[in-house]
Amino acid sequence: MAKFFAVTIIIIAILSAIPILRHTWDAPEDISTHGALIDEQMSETMAEAGIAFLAAQFVLAIFVWMFSNRGPDAKITKFPGGAKGLVIAAFLVVGIEVLALGVFGVKAWATVYLTPPAADAMPIQVQAGQFAFYFRYPGPDGKFGAIHPELVNEGSQNYFGLDPEHDPASRDDVVAAEMAIPINKEIHLLMHAKDVGHSFFVRELRVQQDFVPGVDVTLHFTATKVGKYEIVCTQLCGLGHYNMKAYLEVMSQQDFDDWMKKEVALQ
């Protein structure tokens, strides 16, 4: 029974590692300027955690194989070095690993969150509400009109609660159900929650950020590959949570300019 346990645990450990080694279910290709740092951090952590996982399971299996049901006359011995060596090893190996991951990880985090957006970054506001995203561009005047929650009316398509009658800045705002951005242009995303908590997740962009009702949070990123990608909500927001999604379309600058002209004409 002990040997069967040992073999089983080794087989499980190896089978568990195969999809990781074969990259069967890896995240899709990164399309952001900051994503490489996250991917690198992920790979390093996978290597360290993977070695720890396999080593622990293998040692457990070997010891169970060797030291189980040895009969009444078996001599009980002690692991050479006792607990002291193990504690020192844990502090040194895990401590160094922790420091390395912690210190290097700061760089990737800082790139996304601790650096301000470039002065010429393109502002886009995204509003999340049960169960749709809406996107707003400031229009030719470069200014967003103010949000008046009491004016929100989905029936008349005033998703943001704009007041074009009294607020000139809102008159040329472009509101869309899909997010179009130009390639290689930094985007400054202004995130506004209309009702409850939501989240903005684009796997390819290596971006995930919650919306905080009552507080507008911001995010900045640059997309590097033309294409159409799904934006999904990852914060449980109610019965339609599973169906809350939109598309991000990364375009060439020319295509984006054409798209914007068309949208402005539609407003």
Partner 1 sequence: MHDISAPAVHHHAPPTSFIRKHVFSLDHKVIGKQYYALALVAALCGMVLSWMMRIHLAWTNAAIPGLQLLSPNGAPGGVMTPEYYLQLMTMHGTIMVFFVLTTAPFAAFGNFFLPIQVGAEDMPFPRFNMMSFWVTFTAFVVLMASFFVSDGPTLGGWTQYAPLNAVGAVGGPGQAMGVILWMTSIALFCIGQLLGSLNFITTTLDLRVKGMSLMRLPLSAWAWFITSCMGLTAFSVLMPACILVILDHVAGTSFFVPSGLVMNDQLLPHSGGSTLLWQHLFWFFGHPEVYIAIVPGIGIVSHILITNMRRPMLSQRVLIYSMGALAILSYMVYGHHMFVSGMNPISSLAFSFPTLVITIPATIIVLIQVFSLYGSNLRINSASLFALGFISMFVSGGVSGFFLAQPSIDIMLHGTYFVVGHFHMVMGVAAMFGIFAGTYFWFPKMAGRMMNETLGKIHFWLSFVGAYCIFMPFHYLGMAGNVRRYSTFVDDYLQPLIPVHRWITVAALITGAAQLVFVYNLIHSRFWGKPAPDNPWEGTSLEWSTATPPPFDNFGGKHPVVYHDPFQYGVKSSAGDYVMQTSPEQVATEHEEK
**Residues 184-223 contacting partner 1, CB under 8 A:** 193-197, 199, 201, 203, 206-215, 217
Report if residue 121 touches partner 1, rule: CB under 8 A: no
- Judged by CB under 8 A, the chain residues 6 through 45 that form the site for partner 1 are 8-9, 12, 16, 19-20, 24-28, 37-38, 41-42, 45
In the stretch 144-173, what mask flags binding to partner 1 with x, by CB under 8 A?
A: ---x-xx-xxxx-----x------------
Taking the CB of residue 183, how many other CB atoms lie within 10 A of it? 17
What's the closest the beta carbon of residue 33 comes to partner 1, in angstroms? 14
User: Are the C-beta atoms of 169 and 148 separated by less than 8 Å?
Assistant: no
Distance CA 3, CA 6 (A): 5
What are the Cα distances from residue 173, in Å, to 37, 141, 183?
Answer: 35, 9, 21
In the stretch 47-66, what mask flags binding to partner 1 with x, by CB under 8 A?
A: -xxx-xx--xx-xx--xx-x
Instruction: Report the candidate in 209, 247, 235, 248 with the shortest Cα–Cα distance to residue 130.
Output: 235
Distance CA 221, CA 209 (A): 12
Closer to partner 1 by CB, 88 or 118: give it.
88
Among 14, 86, 146, 177, binds partner 1 (CB under 8 A): 86
Cα of first residue to Cα of last residue in the chain, in angstroms, is 73
Report if residue 90 touches partner 1, rule: CB under 8 A: yes
Report if residue 125 touches partner 1, rule: CB under 8 A: no
What's the closest the beta carbon of residue 82 comes to partner 1, in angstroms? 5
Report if residue 102 touches partner 1, rule: CB under 8 A: yes
Instruction: Report the candidate in 196, 184, 195, 188 with the shortest Cα–Cα distance to residue 135.
Output: 188
Closer to partner 1 by CB, 101 or 264: give it.
101
Distance CA 129, CA 20 (A): 36
